[in-house]
Structure 1
């Protein structure tokens, strides 16, 4: 990639052609090209045969993505880069499931983003004819892909947050909207004195049992199906990880107030989510905020917005801890 500064019109052309980049990356992820290259450089023809692609078309996609650092080429030989490895199955920082998930769920609805800007209505709801999560939960395969994608994404986005953040004291830890139980399993690892609850919709939380079984936590963690807009179970520590970002303030307040109703005196709330920094500097939260706008009607929030939301919901923000990733832990107390 060149360090020469491009004219504004050329830079803008690159920005408005972003759909080509997305679709090229989607194709590579779906065909699993990156995984095929983990063992070392290979010829394009050889890769195409393995993944079931047209060699000429695949070669042109690779050439296009190589200029952005996804591949490294020498003639007809292709090598995967560290950036490209994130589209492979296996690496700890893999985003292949996220890429496939975005392709199957987000890409088409985002064609209606202009309507969202005009009306405030999520593009996905207009495109799909129903709220996005309702649509996902009607399809078990899609719900499974979402669980896999979100578990991998949030784990990578947290970085070392769980190492630098001390979980508040409390016997029972409830992960509200805990999906497949991955986060709760991490939180309870090395804490044999604690018990847990994974709480989510029936179509989602069923995936938690294999996760807990693999972690040896079946005896200490209860899997509970329910709707956090109706009620949540009692606990000493409540965890909301990447949940409130999915909802507008009114819906988020319903969740928070249900926690207040169920929580005993002295309970703590831990929100694992993103905090939008002030200013115009690039930050992942600003991209994800547009995803929330177009898909769910939710939002990413600044620290002051989090503080106001929590106060309106019956909590006082006590501290914000940030690790090496883009997620932070916001700890709050009742009242």
Structure 2
């Protein structure tokens, strides 16, 4: 039996696509007000819920109604409950993406109104809207930089799925997480490997968040926190990890990063790129939407397997293997060619 969506007239389906921005904003409202968090304890009357989160009861009820049709809420009369999908917008659940929603609202939504300029000129919409490159703008605001750390750590952790379990990290005494932000990934990589030491390397405004993460994991004696710029140079290590880094940059910039890793890498060092691999053809896949985020915000891109092979080869590396996990990310392991 055909679904209701596919039996709608083409013009109606297109109108639904065109109003996707309204759904995004409705989800941002739920995340920002903490609506989902308040519902973790069980169903609530909408007027009671509105009073707690500081919202107009009628307006909140209409937001809940439109999101309930997408499975975010369940309603019964004037009572609302949260679903497993909706719980991801709450604080607390292991798969929470509330910080991602709050981050997108404050940083991505408005610049995307300039996507037409990007397609015409190739310049990122965020650069046009903000008047400067996105990361420069973020790093001027410590609160946004911290929110970005929270959002990206949560997103990449969920999107990796079981990748760290199915991909064995190459042998090496020192593991350097290049662009490692708050150190969350390095902590995971060093867990259960007391013989290894680590380096978290990132811009000063970003890597400053790594100290509490490393200390909380009891790894302060084994992890060095280094501030720097991977466009200038990177520390010496035995295993280099670039997780969700190269996707942020066009090929020219990505090659500069790879070139600096290749220069610093001692003989026998390995590179592990943890990033997305876009499937070929028209098959639906989340990476294709994320690629548009890269286009509009940073000028970066998601790459197919053939594009990754070309990039790594041009950067002086030989791709040895690709490991796919249960999530969106894969591990591309390479050696200096």
Aligned equivalent of 2:228: 226
1:223-245, Cα deviation, whole Å (9 max, x unpaired): 00000000000000000000000
- CA shift, 1:5, in A, is 2.0
CA distance in structure 2 between the aligned counterparts of 1:76 and 1:241, rounded to whole angstroms: 45
Which of 85, 97, 105 does residue 103 from structure 1 map onto?
105
Say what the alpha-carbon RMSD is for the aligned residues: 0.8
Question: Runs of 5+ in structure 1 lacking a partner?
Answer: none
Question: What's 1:315 paired with?
Answer: 317
Partner of 1:152 in structure 2?
Answer: 154
Aligned to 1:213: 215
Using the TM superposition, give the Cα deviation of residue 46 of structure 1 relative to its aligned residue in structure 2, in angstroms.
0.9
Aligned-pair distance for 1:2? 4.5
1:128 to partner: Cα distance? 0.3
Structure 1 equivalent of residue 37 of structure 2 = 35
CA apart distance, 1:198: 0.1
How far, CA to CA, are the matches of 2:5 and 2:273 in structure 1? Answer: 40
In the other structure, the counterpart of 1:267 is: 269
Deviations 1:57-102 (A, max 9, x none): 0000000100111100000000101111111111111110000000
Alignment of 1:4-15 (within 5 A): 5-15=7-17
- Structure 2 residue aligned with 1:182: 184
Partner of 1:192: 194
Instruction: Give the distance between the partners of 1:28 and 1:208, measured in 2 at CA.
Output: 29
Deviation track 1:237-269 (CA, whole Å, cap 9, x = no partner) reads 000000000000000000000001100000000
- 1:37 match: secondary structure: helix
SS at match of 2:335: strand
Structure 2, unaligned stretches of length 5 or more?
Answer: none
Looking at structure 2, the residues matched to 307 and 58 of structure 1 have their Cα atoms a distance apart, in angstroms, of: 49
Deviations 1:19-73 (A, max 9, x none): 1001000001000100000111110011101100000000000001001111000
SS in 2 for 1:21: helix
Question: Partner of 2:214: helix, strand, or coil?
Answer: helix
Secondary structure at the counterpart of residue 274 of structure 1:
strand
1:324 aligns with 2:320: no
Asked if the contact 2:5–2:13 (Cα under 8 Å) also holds between the matched residues in 1, the reply is: no
Q: Is the CA contact (8 Å cut-off) linking 2:47 and 2:57 kept in structure 1?
A: yes
Shift of 1:6: 1.2
Q: What stretches of structure 1 move > 3 A for 4+ residues in a row?
A: 1-4
Partner of 1:240: 242
* Shift of residue 290, structure 1, vs aligned partner: 0.2
Which secondary structure does the structure 2 equivalent of 1:331 belong to? Answer: strand
Structure 2 equivalent of residue 333 of structure 1: 335
Q: 1:57 aligns with which of 56, 59, 76?
A: 59
Once residues 188 and 112 of structure 2 are traced to their aligned partners in structure 1, the CA distance between those partners, rounded to angstroms, is: 34
Q: Which residue of 2 aligns with 1:276?
A: 278
1:25 equivalent in structure 2: 27
When residues 52 and 41 of structure 1 are mapped into structure 2, their CA distance, relative to the original with a 3 A threshold, is same
Aligned to 2:144: 142
Q: Secondary structure at the match of 2:224?
A: strand
Tell me, in whole angstroms, the C-alpha distance in 2 between the residues paired with 1:226 and 1:4.
51
Going from structure 1 to structure 2, the CA distance change for 1:200 and 1:80 (only over 3 Å counts) comes to: same
Corresponding position of 2:117: 115
Trace 1:269-308 onto structure 2 (pairs within 5 A).
269-308=271-310
Report SS of the residue matched to 1:192.
coil
Provide TM-score, normalisation by structure 2: 0.98
Distance in 2 of aligned mates of 1:170 and 1:138: 36
* Residue of structure 1 in register with 2:77 after alignment: 75
* Residues 180-212 of structure 1: per-residue CA shift (max 9 Å, x gap): 000000000000000000000000001000000
TM-score by length of 1: 0.99
Deviation at 1:4, TM superposition (A): 6.2
